[in-house]
Amino acid sequence: MEFKTETLENGLTIVGEIMPLSRSAALGFFTRTGGRDETAEISGVSHFLEHMMFKGTKKRTALEVNLEFDRMGANYNAFTSEENTAYYAAVLPEYVDNALELWCDLLRPSLRVEDFTIEKNVILEEIAMYKDLPQFDVLDRCRKLHFGDHQCGNSVLGTVQTITDLKCEQMVDYFNARYSPDNMVLVCVGNIDWDDFVGQVRQHCSSWQAYKPKRILSDFAGTGMLNVLSDEKIQREHICLMASAPSAQSDKRYAASLLSNIIGDDGNSRLYWQLVDTALADSADLEYDSMDGTGAFYCYLSCEPEKADRVLDIAKKVFANIRTNGVSEEELEGSKNKLASAMTLSGELPMGRFVPLGYDWIYRKKYRSLADSLKELQGVTVKDINAMLEQYDFSNLTVQGLGPCQRLG
Amino acid sequence: MSEVQIKKLANGLTMIAEPMADVSSGSFSIRLPAGTARENIGLNGLSSIMTDLVFRGTEEMDSRTLSAKLDSLGLHYNSGSSNLYSSFSGALVADKLGEALKLHADVFMRARLEEEQFELCRESALQHLDSLEDDPRQKISMLAFENFMMVPYGKPSVGKEKEIQAISHEDALNFYKRFYNPNGAIIAVAGAIEAEATFAMIEENFGSWQGEKLDVLPKAKYQCLNSHQHKDGAQIHIAMIYPSVNIHHEDYYKAKAAVAILSGGMGSRLFTEVREKRGLCYSVGASHTMIADQGLIMGYVGSSPDKAQEALDVMKNEFVNLANGISEDELDRAKIGLRASLIMQGESSGARAGGCAGDYALLGRVRSLEEIEKAILDLSVDDVVGFAKANQPEEFTITTIGAKELI
């Protein structure tokens, strides 16, 4: 396994982890753009644009794009978050050139009005689908509540109103402002001929113009507000708690990952024993989301409405206890084993290395092999976690309820 | 690729090993003959409760100690119940496989099954069942299988409220005694392992396990009921099922290819017709699957109330339309897609362990990836169209959850 990198004159960076023995390869683009880079008027445009990226170019119609991916047997998709949009495909080695040419062409899309009009309906269906899933909706609402006016509170999907009102020209303007080669990273992993790969990227992408797009970066501790949205049609009470956490650039992020695992892994964690083992809640977990310049812990709870106050109270006590007493050596070892094993297992597949490689570059402009990452993880001590808890102590919790309850707490 | 090895112990337990090059992980997939079809009438949910209860302590360890042990191995774990089996599968660094399997021997032979823990498992099962009301996409396939199959098959693993409430601690003890049983059980292991040593290790841990011979389950039959559940949601969720061939049938791979043409990649028929051309949905797809020995084809779409009827009609039409012909290019795309996913499966120890156990459970042998690949690549347009003609959907089982009923 060998790491390679190259930056073209226009700023497009290519990073690769070459594994000559792999039976497949994964490749695709990360673009540093998402919900936080939108104004209120065009809320949802990043995600809608991600869909439109598959709708063809000067050379290809939408149907031709889909057929071409299928002819390679590609396992391909894309995702949009608050701050990144990624496009990727896993293919057999003989299709790497074809997949690369296709992605490079698609990332300069035509954005035709006819396609835009049909796809708008698909986006509205996606919004409707998530509206029927309160377990997602509550996280979205809580993020907005937690971040207040900070850009990280922006919705990724947008609303029915903003999507309905959005015009194709606005999307074209947004594309032109964000999909600059110096705002993108091309990542490849697996069975790839690097020199040949870079030569082809030069051919396909050298003409892309760079214009140094900017992003507003600031940390934000969270509003600590409480909001309850009562909806009788929902069966359970869905509760999200958020607290500030280290950013993606912080050296505390491994400590934060381990802490969230100790508190809220879906088995054998503090929240699990207090709430799930005892059948008070059907879900009680904690996730750590490291972001550009800021970060957040998300705790998700789901229970019967009659038990909501009790469940919320127990969860808060779990956080208070961690704040006062820290974590134990034994818990830390258990969580290290779980996370290290997860990283090792996913690292056996090219697709499993694609995302960590992309994020290491997008956020930190640094390469870390799987072995480097494991070493950093194993190096975290109880002292490190307790030191982090002094700064990120779960004392200022933002709380969003969604379900039959009229009020919480 | 190394050969798959299979060996059966005197107590009825089948062991399968697939050594793999270029991986450091080891995965296991265990099937016990303790699925929902084995639940007594009126006790639906018991099989699933047991997969929770057995991990809540063994003779030597309480629940927390056992959990901490499993975590110390870095085990990534899944368990659950289906019609025929309860499944326990995990992946970890290969040199710790022995310890993980040893803990399972404890769990399968020497679980505590305390009454107090049983009550918690039952309460958890009720909570989980209730939570599905807020997850219509999960709920719809459960309802659809139940509508399609005749008992004892098609029962949801999550159970039913009244039946879960009726399950007693004694029922749990009896279920464990009868169905946590080596007769008909399978342990498949794949990854950085050596077959003979793996078999010796399994035999050492599970060789003393004994159980009664189980009755043969009845043949699966389908019934095709329809149902609608009213829910004021933003979308109507639609599942449609019609019967197909099973894995023993000579047309099995033709059926797989037919479904790949409908729903393989984003250029497939359902995605193109329902989403890309008409914008009627976000999520649409079809799959070919089996419940016991009954093959079936199931489609799903979620669509807003004003578009759902059209989405359903377009989908039905696509299922029927397969018999009117397919193109060479469509078949080629389907073949390449199936072949690529087979090869990528061959890179993952977890996928291989699951594949070995699944094949043995259905076929009594394990197909090599080459065998499957050849069967797919040999298919012609006439083969697939011939299957579609012989297997025209006469009626669909239609299950919906949403704001209005469809016709």
CATH 3.30.1130.10 fits A2-205, yes or no: no
Last residue of a domain, one of B206, B235, B260: B206
| A377 beta partners | none
The ranges assigned to domains in chain A are 2-205, 226-403
Look at A283 and B131 and tell me if their CB atoms are within 8 Å: yes
> Is residue B171 situated within a structural domain?
yes
Mean pLDDT, range B378-394, rounded to an integer: 97
- Which residue from A minimizes the CA distance to B132? A235
SS (H, E, C) B50-107: HHHHCCCCECCCCHHHHHHHHHHCCCEEEEEECCCCEEEEEEEEHHHHHHHHHHHHHH
According to the model, what pLDDT value does residue B389 have? 97
Q: Does A173 touch chain B (CB under 8 A)?
A: no
Quick one: B241 and B168 in the same domain?
Answer: no
CB pairs under 8 A between A and B: 195
B227 membership: H or E segment, kind and range: strand B227-230
The model's pLDDT over A353-373, given as tens digits with 9 standing for 90+, comes to: 999 999 999 999 999 999 999
The model's pLDDT over A232-286, given as tens digits with 9 standing for 90+, comes to: 999 999 999 999 999 999 999 999 999 999 999 998 999 999 999 999 999 999 9
When CB atoms are compared, the residue of B76, B271, B304 closest to A341 is B76
Look at B133 and A131 and tell me if their CB atoms are within 8 Å: no
- Residue B253's Cβ-side half-sphere holds a number of Cα atoms within 13 Å equal to 19
Question: Is residue A130 scored above 60 in pLDDT?
Answer: yes
The residue that leads in pLDDT, A212 or A383, is A383
Number of domains in chain B: 2
Between helices A96-106 and A62-71, what is the axis angle to 10°?
160
Quick one: B166 and B231 in the same domain?
Answer: no
Report d(CA A234, CA A18) in Å as an integer: 49
B321, B326, B330, B334: CA torsion to nearest 10: 70
Q: Tell me the shortest Cα–Cα distance from A337 to chain B, in angstroms.
A: 5
Mean pLDDT, range A297-314, rounded to an integer: 98
Q: Tell me the shortest Cα–Cα distance from A138 to chain B, in angstroms.
A: 12
Quick one: B255 and B300 in the same domain?
Answer: yes
Tokens describing residue B337: 């897609």
Look at B71 and A268 and tell me if their CB atoms are within 8 Å: yes
Report d(CA A41, CA A123) in Å as an integer: 17
Residues 6 or more apart in contact with residue A169 via CB below 8 angstroms: none
Q: Are B106 and B90 in contact (CB under 8 A)?
A: no
Across A153-264, the runs of DSSP E, i.e. the strands, are 184-190, 226-230, 237-244
Residues 6 or more apart in contact with residue A48 via CB below 8 angstroms: A119, A120, A123, A158, A163, A166, A171
Last residue of a domain, one of B206, B237, B265: B206
CATH of the domain at B357: 3.30.830.10
Give the residue carrying structure tokens 């970066």.
A217
Look at B279 and A121 and tell me if their CB atoms are within 8 Å: yes
The model's pLDDT over B318-331, given as tens digits with 9 standing for 90+, comes to: 999 999 999 999 99
Look at B74 and A348 and tell me if their CB atoms are within 8 Å: no
| A6 beta partners | A14
According to the model, what pLDDT value does residue A409 have? 81
Mean pLDDT, range B363-373, rounded to an integer: 94
Quick one: B266 and B308 in the same domain?
Answer: yes
Backbone angles phi, psi at A216, to 5 degrees: -75, 120
> Is residue B215 situated within a structural domain?
no
Which band of pLDDT confidence, cut at 50, 70 and 90, is reported for residue B3? Answer: confident
The residue length of chain A stands at 409
Residues 6 or more apart in contact with residue B55 via CB below 8 angstroms: B63, B66, B67, B79, B107, B111
Measured between beta carbons, the chain B residues lying within 8 angstroms of A131 are 233-234
Which residue, B51, B74, B70, is CA-closest to B61?
Answer: B70
Report d(CA B5, CA B361) in Å as an integer: 15
What domain range includes position B194? 5-206
Q: Are B241 and B396 in contact (CB under 8 A)?
A: yes
> Is residue B407 situated within a structural domain?
no
Residue B350's alpha-carbon distances to A301, B2, B26, B359, in angstroms, are 30, 16, 8, 14
Look at B304 and A129 and tell me if their CB atoms are within 8 Å: no
Report d(CA B253, CA A65) in Å as an integer: 27
Look at A66 and B271 and tell me if their CB atoms are within 8 Å: yes
Give the residue carrying structure tokens 């269906």.
A125
Report d(CA B237, CA A160) in Å as an integer: 20
Look at A268 and B23 and tell me if their CB atoms are within 8 Å: no
Which residue, B132, B195, B203, B191, is CA-closest to B161?
Answer: B132
Q: Does A328 touch chain B (CB under 8 A)?
A: no
Backbone angles phi, psi at B80, to 5 degrees: 175, 175
Question: Is residue A86 scored above 70 in pLDDT?
Answer: yes
Mean pLDDT, range B175-204, rounded to an integer: 97
Least confident of A315-324, B153-162, B340-349: B340-349
> Domain spanning A226-403: which superfamily?
Metalloenzyme, LuxS/M16 peptidase-like (3.30.830.10)
Q: Does A129 touch chain B (CB under 8 A)?
A: yes
Strand order in B5-8's β-sheet?
B5-8, B14-19, B186-191, B25-32, B86-93, B76-81
Look at A74 and B265 and tell me if their CB atoms are within 8 Å: yes
| B5 beta partners | B17
Quick one: B143 and B276 in the same domain?
Answer: no
Beta strands B86-93 and B76-81 are antiparallel
Question: Is residue B1 scored above 60 in pLDDT?
Answer: no
The answer to whether the A2-205 and A226-403 domains have the same CATH topology is yes
- ipTM score here? 0.94
Mutate: best of B73, B282, B345, partner A, most A CBs <10 A: B282
Give the residue carrying structure tokens 């699990």.
A272
Q: Tell me the shortest Cα–Cα distance from A10 to chain B, in angstroms.
A: 32
A290 membership: H or E segment, kind and range: strand A281-290
Quick one: B171 and B302 in the same domain?
Answer: no
| A299 beta partners | A241, A286
Report d(CA B63, CA B65) in Å as an integer: 6
Quick one: B107 and B247 in the same domain?
Answer: no
In A, residues 91-120, which contact B (CB 8 Å cutoff)?
Answer: 91-92, 118-120
Look at A348 and B136 and tell me if their CB atoms are within 8 Å: no
Quick one: B92 and B11 in the same domain?
Answer: yes
According to the model, what pLDDT value does residue B407 have? 87
Look at A233 and B302 and tell me if their CB atoms are within 8 Å: no
Question: Is residue B254 scored above 90 in pLDDT?
Answer: yes
Report d(CA A301, CA A284) in Å as an integer: 5
Backbone angles phi, psi at B259, to 5 degrees: -70, -35
Quick one: B235 and B124 in the same domain?
Answer: no
Which residue, A354, A388, A389, A357, is CA-closest to A373?
Answer: A357
Question: Is residue B2 scored above 70 in pLDDT?
Answer: no
Measured between beta carbons, the chain A residues lying within 8 angstroms of B267 are 63, 66-70
Quick one: B191 and B113 in the same domain?
Answer: yes
Quick one: B149 and B284 in the same domain?
Answer: no
Mean pLDDT, range B5-9, rounded to an integer: 98
> Is residue B211 situated within a structural domain?
no
Measured between beta carbons, the chain B residues lying within 8 angstroms of A333 are 72
Which band of pLDDT confidence, cut at 50, 70 and 90, is reported for residue A21? Answer: confident
Tokens describing residue B195: 């077959």
When CB atoms are compared, the residue of B64, B137, B343 closest to A23 is B343
Cα four-point dihedral sign B357, B362, B364, B369: negative
Report d(CA A185, CA B376) in Å as an integer: 37
Residues 6 or more apart in contact with residue A149 via CB below 8 angstroms: none
Which residue, A94, A209, A62, A216, is CA-closest to A153?
Answer: A216
Report d(CA A282, CA A37) in Å as an integer: 35
According to the model, what pLDDT value does residue B22 have? 83
Q: Does A189 touch chain B (CB under 8 A)?
A: no
According to the model, what pLDDT value does residue B60 have? 94
Q: Does A313 touch chain B (CB under 8 A)?
A: no
* Average pLDDT over chain B, rounded to an integer: 96
Q: Are B257 and B384 in contact (CB under 8 A)?
A: yes
Quick one: B293 and B393 in the same domain?
Answer: yes
According to the model, what pLDDT value does residue A385 have? 97
A47 membership: H or E segment, kind and range: helix A45-52
Q: Does A378 touch chain B (CB under 8 A)?
A: no
According to the model, what pLDDT value does residue B287 have? 97
A99-102 long-range contacts (CB < 8 A, ≥24 apart) are A99/A27, A99/A69, A99/A72, A99/A74, A100/A27, A100/A188, A100/A197, A100/A200, A100/A201, A100/A204, A101/A200, A101/A204, A102/A65, A102/A68, A102/A69
According to the model, what pLDDT value does residue A1 have? 86
Percent of chain A whose pLDDT exceeds 90 = 95
When CB atoms are compared, the residue of A123, A235, A277 closest to B133 is A235
* Average pLDDT over chain A, rounded to an integer: 96
Counts for chain A of helices (H) and strands (E), in that order: 15, 11
> B191: phi > 0 → left, psi -120 to 50 → alpha, else beta; which?
left
The model's pLDDT over A184-193, given as tens digits with 9 standing for 90+, comes to: 999 999 999 9
When CB atoms are compared, the residue of B76, B231, B329 closest to A345 is B76
Measured between beta carbons, the chain B residues lying within 8 angstroms of A235 are 130-131, 133-134
Q: Does A211 touch chain B (CB under 8 A)?
A: no
Mean pLDDT, range A109-125, rounded to an integer: 97
Question: Residue A212: how many CB atoms within 10 A of its CB?
Answer: 8
Report d(CA A27, CA A19) in Å as an integer: 13
SS3 A282: strand
> Is residue B59 situated within a structural domain?
yes
